[in-house]
């Protein structure tokens, strides 16, 4: 029987919850606390934005290849992946305030480390700083995301987390600006000063987070318990329990399928770690003989890279079979008290992985797309820009210079400089989508919002894939707008009704961020073989599966909607 179709007399006699978006059940207004927590979203958006402009700096200053500089992104995303579970464990024991302060202090340590790292001037020193900062941000994301969902009436939980995530969008816009100022600045002689000033923004972040830590220490940060709609923490014999808790029936077949999907992602992540680590050590050349004996595609001689990939692929298949067998027993022992028995949660971990994968792929290749895929730029556009530049003072002319350039085929196209500016323009659309989405979710059920936006992005990515000229270019920016609400809303859907377990469960959803380390490589490989437009087939698939999760959420959660409906209450 669906859990939300009946209500006990005791439940129906309860006093209605306060209607204010930032009002707790006991009547306290927590708007100040919400604003304080929202500042954390701006912080990690700012830090993530700086990462996106750091790669090129290291290529030039440390004379690294493209594959070597990719370790910056890898260190950042792995910090999230490796620290998410410890962060969830500590957050459960320290509470919301303790978890936030611990994360801020860890970010401060990583930020200040960039001061001696600049003196060391070794790549490993910078990577260590990036990883430590990411570990601290993991604490903040693990705690702050679920905390925004309980800072007020449950009806508006998805709206609150989207409002807070709007601050994240502001940080994404400001981070690249700070990176350009301090990573690529030049002196009067035109010599780069980035190597000497790279530590400045990170030290500034460290100072800011120490101030925030002090504010959080003295500020009212109530440790609000999330609704335990599924009775995960009740034994049914508590003195305050006037009716036996509703026991949620475990759908073992569906739980098995979703868990197998999650385990497959973990196997893929560790396979990628081994691929990068062993590849940098040159192990592939020693595996050519072994890999040649394994089934593989192509009749060309086995290279070191192909041997390594073939060997890791075979090992991954073995690991998958072992995991599939082990999960049969694990799923058979699941009780309703385990978060993994709640399909809306295990589905959210996969949906979040797919979303961050799609987001990172689009963000990473926007400049490549804008400089290669749009039709030839009309000469009239160049004249129009020149006329606009003439209106501005002389010191502004450099801003308009170099927006267009002629490629090797003699076709006038967008330059890297203009494409970089369009990246900031895309983030403005992303921010606008967050604000509009937060307002929309006040009237629309959260799962329907995710499903609808997912389907729209499938259509948008299909139009980009089909390479329809300027229509496809416009669709790229529409994808920014319509992906904007997905991360926070999937998060709210995933931890719905988990009570105190939400703190630990959120850590697994945060682990999904590692998707950003994987899809760009696949999307880039497709683009190398065909073109950048064809690479959008990967985010198209991701958004399709996310839409499926959104529309299937009521069945997975046994609830009608997150919008004001509890899983165990009548409606």
Decide if 233 is inside a domain. no
- The listed range with the strongest mean pLDDT (190-204, 263-277, 403-417, 534-548) is 534-548
Decide if 382 is inside a domain. no
Does 199 share its domain with 316? no
Does 274 share its domain with 219? no
- Higher-confidence residue of 450 and 387: namely 450
Banded model confidence at residue 565, pLDDT cuts 50, 70, 90: very low
What does the block give as tokens for 167? 């601050």
What is the rounded CA–CA span in Å between residue 283 and residue 305?
Answer: 9
pLDDT average, residue stretch 470-477: 94
Decide if 150 is inside a domain. yes
Does 428 share its domain with 553? yes
pLDDT average, residue stretch 467-491: 92
Amino acid 11: pLDDT: 40
Domain that holds residue 139: 22-224
Does 282 share its domain with 366? no
Residue-wise pLDDT for 366-405, tens only, equals 877 888 888 888 888 878 877 887 777 766 666 667 777 8
What is the rounded CA–CA span in Å between residue 105 and residue 133?
Answer: 10
Domain CATH number, residue 65? 1.20.1250.20
Cα dihedral value 225, 229, 231, 232, nearest 10: -60
Does 158 share its domain with 207? yes
Query: DSSP letters along 76-136, please?
Result: HHHHHHHHHHHHHHHHHHHHHHHHHHHHHHHHHHHHHHHHHHHHHT-HHHHHHHHHHHHHH
Amino acid 320: pLDDT: 94
pLDDT, mean over the chain: 80
pLDDT at 416 over 80: no
pTM attached to this predicted model = 0.76
Banded model confidence at residue 5, pLDDT cuts 50, 70, 90: very low
Amino acid 190: pLDDT: 57
Burial (Cβ within 10 Å: 0-12, 13-18, ≥19) of residue 458: buried
Amino acid 13: pLDDT: 42
What is the rounded CA–CA span in Å between residue 218 and residue 196?
Answer: 36
Decide if 319 is inside a domain. yes
Q: In total, how many domains does the chain have?
A: 3
Does 206 share its domain with 108? yes
Banded model confidence at residue 570, pLDDT cuts 50, 70, 90: very low
Chosen domain end from 185, 207, 224: 224
| Block residue for tokens 């996310």 | 546
Does 91 share its domain with 45? yes
Percent of the chain scored above 70 by pLDDT? 83
Lowest mean pLDDT among 19-28, 387-396, 404-413, 439-448: 387-396
Does 149 share its domain with 287? no
Percent of the chain scored above 90 by pLDDT? 24
Tally of helices (H runs) and strands (E runs) in the chain:
23, 2
Label residue 121 left, alpha or beta by phi (over 0 means left) and psi (-120 to 50 means alpha): left
Does 360 share its domain with 330? no
Chosen domain end from 272, 303, 334: 334
| Block residue for tokens 């509009």 | 436
Does 63 share its domain with 196? yes
Does 206 share its domain with 103? yes
Residue 228: name the closest of 561, 534, 501 by CA: 501
What does the block give as tokens for 201? 């923004």
Beta bridge partners of 29: 23
What is the rounded CA–CA span in Å between residue 157 and residue 66?
Answer: 42
Decide if 393 is inside a domain. no
Decide if 480 is inside a domain. yes
Does 270 share its domain with 312? yes
- Higher-confidence residue of 473 and 293: namely 473
């Amino acid at each position: 029987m669906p859990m939300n179709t009946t209500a006990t007399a005791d439940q129906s006699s309860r006093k209605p919850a306060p209607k204010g978006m930032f009002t707790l059940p006991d009547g306290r207004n927590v708007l100040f606390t919400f604003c304080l927590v929202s500042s954390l979203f701006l912080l990690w958006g700012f830090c993530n934005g700086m990462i996106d402009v750091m790669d090129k700096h290291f290529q030039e200053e440390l004379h690294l290849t493209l594959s070597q500089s990719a370790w910056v992104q890898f260190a950042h995303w792995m910090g999230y992946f490796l620290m998410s579970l410890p962060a969830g464990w500590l957050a459960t024991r320290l509470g919301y305030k303790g978890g936030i302060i611990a994360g801020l202090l860890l970010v401060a340590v990583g930020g200040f480390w960039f001061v001696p790292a600049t003196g060391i001037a070794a790549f490993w020193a910078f990577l260590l700083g990036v990883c430590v900062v990411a570990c601290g941000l993991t604490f903040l994301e693990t705690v702050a995301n679920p905390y925004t969902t309980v800072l007020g009436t449950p009806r508006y939980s998805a709206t609150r987390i989207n409002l807070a995530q709007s601050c994240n969008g502001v940080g994404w816009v400001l981070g690249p600006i700070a990176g350009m100022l301090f990573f690529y600045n030049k002196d009067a002689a035109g010599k780069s000063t980035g190597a000497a000033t790279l530590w400045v923004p990170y030290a500034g972040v460290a100072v800011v987070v120490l101030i925030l830590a002090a504010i959080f220490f003295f500020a009212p940060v109530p440790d609000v318990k999330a609704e335990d709609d599924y009775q995960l923490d009740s034994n049914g014999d508590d003195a305050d329990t006037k009716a036996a808790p509703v026991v949620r029936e475990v759908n073992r077949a569906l739980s098995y399928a979703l868990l197998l999907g999650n385990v497959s992602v973990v196997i893929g992540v560790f396979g990628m770690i081994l691929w990068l680590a062993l590849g940098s050590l040159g192990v592939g050349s020693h595996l050519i003989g072994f890999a040649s004996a394994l089934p593989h595609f192509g009749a060309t001689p086995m290279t070191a890279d192909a041997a390594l990939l073939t060997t890791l692929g075979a090992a991954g298949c073995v690991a998958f079979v072992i995991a599939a067998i082990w999960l049969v027993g694990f799923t058979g022992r699941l009780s309703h008290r385990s978060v993994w028995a709640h399909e809306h949660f295990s589905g959210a971990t996969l949906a979040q992985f797919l979303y961050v994968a799609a987001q990172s792929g689009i963000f990473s290749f926007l400049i490549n797309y804008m400089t290669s895929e749009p039709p030839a730029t009309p000469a009239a556009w160049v004249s129009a820009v020149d006329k606009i530049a003439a209106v501005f003072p002389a010191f502004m002319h450099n801003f308009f210079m170099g927006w267009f350039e002629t490629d090797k085929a003699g076709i006038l196209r967008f330059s890297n400089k203009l494409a970089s500016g369009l990246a900031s323009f895309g983030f403005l659309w992303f921010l606008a989508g967050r604000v509009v989405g937060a307002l929309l979710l006040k009237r629309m059920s959260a799962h329907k919002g995710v499903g609808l936006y997912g389907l729209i992005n499938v259509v948008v990515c299909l139009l980009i894939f089909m390479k329809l000229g300027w229509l496809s270019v416009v669709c790229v920016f529409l994808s920014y707008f319509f992906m904007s609400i997905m991360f926070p809303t999937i998060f709210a859907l995933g931890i719905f009704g988990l009570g105190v377990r939400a703190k630990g469960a959120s850590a697994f959803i945060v682990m999904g961020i590692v998707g950003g380390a994987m899809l760009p490589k696949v999307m880039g490989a497709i683009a190398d073989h065909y073109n950048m437009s064809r690479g959008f087939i990967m985010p198209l698939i991701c958004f399709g599966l996310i839409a499926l999760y959104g529309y299937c959420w009521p069945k997975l959660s046994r609830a009608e909607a997150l919008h004001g409906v509890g899983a165990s209450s009548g409606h």
